[in-house]
Amino acid sequence: MHKIGIDLGGTKIEGILLDDSLNTVQRVRIQTPKENYHEIVNQISSLVTDLSKNINEFTVGICTPGAISKKTGLLKNSNTQCLIGMPLKEDLQEQLDKKIMIENDANCFAISEANLGCAKNYSVVFGVIMGTGVGGGIVIDGKIHHGRTNIAGEWGHHTLHQNGNHCYCGKQGCVETYISGPALEKNWEDLTGIKESLPDIIKSENPKFGQWREEFLDNFGTGLANVIDILDPDVIVLGGGLSNIDFLYSDGIKNVYEKVFSDLVDTPILKNSLGDSAGVFGAALLN
Ligand SMILES: [Zn+2]
């Protein structure tokens, strides 16, 4: 059976067609219509129609920002605002006259790295996305672990600091408000008075860099040590823009290990191997 995966991003929609040996047959990219829900639904359907024109049987999986609420079936927590509260799955199923699967980007990331990427030989995989937001997904023996209410793995909104930074989710002190890209840039600005992007901060020779880096590592360490304490995964894979920061794989890992509640900790913390393609491959692997 062929597999179609669609990665719905804020700026682009990517589609892929895989054959039954998971080889790529076709791959397409289009621009995401700006904040227009119905246009987004139409574009995804025509992408699926296009990719499936020469095949008979196929599955369709969609990777979206945000998650589908188990309570309402509607999309929530999405940073593409026009998708929030919309029945994307239902609308697409109606338009395509076909059952589809839909998952958030962190779950798609985790399932693709677990099946096709650097976590291939591990049973319990914790996939981390650190970028504009902080997300996570759990894959056990190749399958996504959703949890009772579909929230499993969402470590980005567990509390790091009581009464800490305000988060858009309504709580205070969430991981995301400390170690997402925008949060780290804001912390840099607060410390130095200079507005710089993360790639520039990483290279900075500003005397405040040490303090900024230490706070970052401390929060990264506590956040992931909490995950290890609760889930004890066989591997942690980092994805998103921040996964390119080299010191996370040296001092970052050290910091995590120091905070884990165990005298033995050797959890591999790896850089993803699929890069930007994780979303679209992950979508294709859903079924
Ligand atoms: Zn939050």
State the 10-residue block means of pLDDT for the chain, 287 residues long.
93 94 95 89 96 94 83 74 87 95 94 96 97 94 93 95 94 97 97 96 96 98 98 97 97 97 95 95 94
Q: Distance from the CA of 223 to the center of ligand 1, in angstroms? A: 13
pLDDT of residue 74: 83
Q: Distance from the CA of 171 to the center of ligand 1, in angstroms? A: 5
pLDDT of residue 77: 66
pLDDT of residue 69: 78
Q: Distance from the CA of 211 to the center of ligand 1, in angstroms? A: 24
How many CA atoms are closer than 13 Å to the CA of 7, on its beta-carbon side? 24
pLDDT of residue 79: 67
pLDDT of residue 34: 84
CB 242 within 8 A of CB 198: yes
CB 19 within 8 A of CB 12: no
Please, what is the angle between helix 105-115 and helix 278-285, to 10°? 80
pLDDT of residue 59: 97
pLDDT of residue 83: 84
pLDDT of residue 17: 97
Supply 164's token pair: 């800490």
* Ion ligand 1 contact residues with beta carbon within 5 A: 157, 167, 169, 171, 174
pTM over the 0.85 mark: yes
Annotate 101-169 with DSSP letters as a single string.
Answer: EEEEHHHHHHHHHHHTSTTTT-SEEEEEEESSSEEEEEEETTEE---TTS-TT-GGGSBSSTT-SB-TT
Q: Distance from the CA of 148 to the center of ligand 1, in angstroms? A: 20
CB 272 within 8 A of CB 110: no
Q: Distance from the CA of 131 to the center of ligand 1, in angstroms? A: 14
Q: Distance from the CA of 4 to the center of ligand 1, in angstroms? A: 32
The DSSP bridge partners found for residue 236 are 126, 269
Q: Distance from the CA of 95 to the center of ligand 1, in angstroms? A: 34
Question: Sheet holding 24-31: strands in order across?
Answer: 24-31, 12-18, 2-8, 58-64, 101-104
CA atoms of 85 and 79, how far apart (whole Å): 12
CB 62 within 8 A of CB 86: no
